[in-house]
């Protein structure tokens, strides 16, 4: 593919000129010829102080600097498929209120059952939500609305780290469900999950997480690795078989919790069956989806984007123990941040030169 390329470098990380010059030097001559210019991203400070460096960069490489984008504080953009390390590295684990008189490690908390069930919400005021970082975690942007929620203390927890006490554990989607289930077990999560439920905690499984909660997972075609079957966590009366044809669809419907409207999408190869599905979690336009356990502590669904619907999120947070849940409009926030970025691009980049380089026609917006 012969198309023009712009190299964009994050100056906030440091070494921006070495990054750009070094990258260019490592490319072949034909690849270098495709590079039509540079953009410096996330700049803080006085542009006049940076200008000598920009002049040197253009002289040294013969490529133009097409603009310098400022650091946009508080900007939220959904990440690519890989989970950014910054989202779970060096983050503080959820801490209980000192009034609880217990430690933050779930292994310690489960030995004090009389205090576990209600300590965290009542003591700290925020709902404590944790999600294990599976080796093949998928659709992690499902949790962006929770990470941004002012009433939630959210943590991605790397496998191998101490498992913090929480009000709600969510098992996420996975690109390799059987392998990730094995990793979850080896990291010691199975017993703490059972203790969490025994003493009043809530549990959500989304897509691959739903499949892990069942009795078994079968992959007869070897779609996600070696063909075979795995024993699930056994918390729901259902089994899943991976099939060659993946289900892909946008959906909308109603949560069985409070009748809250919800919309999202499905993307999964697994087909689940079993008695648990007689008590669905969601009623979608094309039929029932997922399950709510008979004791009301487990909510499982194939629906991604579950928390993007404010009413559905409020219902789920109240179910998890947050009595006065008030969720902001995540979709409006996402759109506003995209508009904010677009405004910065228009203001700080040479859009006329960009249109010329990419042979784009003049564009205008009627706002």
Residue pair 225/219 in contact (Cβ under 8 Å)? The answer is yes
Rg (CA), the chain: 24
Catalytic residue among 207, 268, 279, 286: 207
> DSSP letters along 314-347, please?
HHHHHHHT-TT-----HHHHHHHHHHHHHHHHHH
Beta-carbon contacts of residue 353 (< 8 Å; ≥ 6 apart): 37, 64, 66
Give the dihedral sign, CA 49/51/52/56: positive
* Residue 304 appears among annotated catalytic residues: yes
* Residue 218 appears among annotated catalytic residues: no
Given a cut of 60, whether residue 96 has pLDDT beyond it is no
Residue pair 284/293 in contact (Cβ under 8 Å)? The answer is no
Catalytic residue among 19, 140, 196, 304: 304
Show the DSSP H helices in 199-255 as ranges.
208-213
Residue of 188, 195, 196, 240 whose CA lies nearest to 214: 240
- Report residue 49 as tokens: 């102080």
- Kindly report, residue by residue over 306-327, the tens digit of the pLDDT: 999 999 999 999 999 998 998 8
Q: CA-to-CA distance for 266 and 188, rounded, in angstroms?
A: 29
The whole-model pTM stands at 0.83
- Kindly report, residue by residue over 188-234, the tens digit of the pLDDT: 999 999 999 999 999 999 999 999 999 999 999 999 999 999 999 99
Residue of 265, 267, 294 whose CA lies nearest to 281: 294
What does the pLDDT average to over 170-174? Answer: 97
């Amino acid at each position: 593919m012969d198309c023009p390329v712009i190299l964009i470098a994050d100056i906030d990380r440091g070494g921006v000129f070495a990054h750009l010059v070094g990258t260019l030097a490592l490319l072949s001559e034909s690849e270098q010829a495709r590079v039509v210019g540079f953009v410096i991203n996330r700049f803080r400070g006085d542009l006049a102080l940076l200008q000598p460096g920009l002049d040197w960069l253009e002289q040294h490489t013969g490529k133009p600097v097409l603009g310098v984008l400022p650091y946009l504080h508080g900007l939220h953009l959904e990440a690519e498929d890989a989970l950014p390390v910054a989202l779970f590295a060096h983050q503080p684990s959820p801490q209980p209120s000192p009034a609880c008189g217990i430690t933050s490690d779930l292994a310690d908390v489960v030995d004090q059952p009389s205090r576990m069930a209600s300590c965290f919400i009542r003591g700290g005021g925020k709902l404590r939500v944790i999600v294990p970082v599976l080796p093949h975690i998928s659709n992690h942007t499902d949790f962006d609305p929770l990470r941004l929620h002012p009433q939630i203390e959210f943590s991605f927890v790397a496998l191998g780290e101490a498992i913090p006490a929480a009000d709600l554990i969510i098992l996420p989607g996975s690109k390799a469900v059987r392998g990730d289930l094995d990793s979850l077990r080896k990291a010691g999560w199975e017993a703490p999950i059972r203790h969490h439920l025994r003493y009043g905690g809530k549990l959500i499984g989304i897509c691959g997480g739903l499949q892990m909660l069942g009795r078994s997972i079968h992959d007869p075609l070897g779609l996600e690795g070696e063909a075979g079957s795995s024993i699930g966590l056994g918390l729901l009366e259902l089994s899943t078989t991976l099939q060659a044809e993946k289900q892909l669809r946008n959906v909308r419907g109603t949560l069985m919790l409070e009748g809250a409207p919800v919309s999202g999408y499905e993307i999964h190869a697994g087909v689940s069956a079993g008695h648990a599905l007689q008590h669905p979690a969601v009623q979608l336009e094309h039929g029932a989806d997922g399950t709510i356990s008979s004791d009301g502590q487990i909510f499982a669904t194939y629906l991604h984007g579950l928390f993007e619907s404010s009413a559905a999120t409020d219902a789920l947070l109240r179910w998890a123990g947050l009595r006065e849940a008030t969720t902001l409009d995540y979709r409006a926030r996402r759109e506003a941040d995209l508009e904010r970025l677009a405004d910065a691009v228009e203001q700080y980049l040479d859009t006329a030169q960009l249109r010329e380089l990419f042979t784009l026609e003049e564009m205008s917006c009627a706002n």
